[in-house]
Amino acid sequence: MSVDDTNESAFPLAGDAYLDPGMSLRDYFAAKAMHAFLIRSYPITAPDEVVADAAYETADAMMKAIGADK
């Protein structure tokens, strides 16, 4: 997991976000997008890297839509 200052956590540990910042919001969005791609197209024929790239492109668009892409 990568953490950067422009990407808030989706699930920080209550009371101690420094020690356990949780999953980044971008990673959460990408996981949801990947899940949607996989259940829609199962069995998927695209290489894993293509699916992951598409999931992060979707996550980046979602981050932009909510103004968290700065």
Tell me: the pLDDT tens digits for 34-47?
Answer: 999 888 877 778 89
Q: Which residues pair with 24 in a beta bridge?
A: 9
57: which 2 tokens?
């492109």
> To 10 degrees, the CA torsion angle through 46, 36, 32, 26?
50
Q: Is the pTM of this model over 0.85?
A: no
pLDDT tens, residue by residue, 45-66: 889 899 999 999 999 999 999 9
Domain coordinates in residue numbering, the chain? 25-65
Alpha helices in 1-70 (DSSP H): 25-40, 48-65
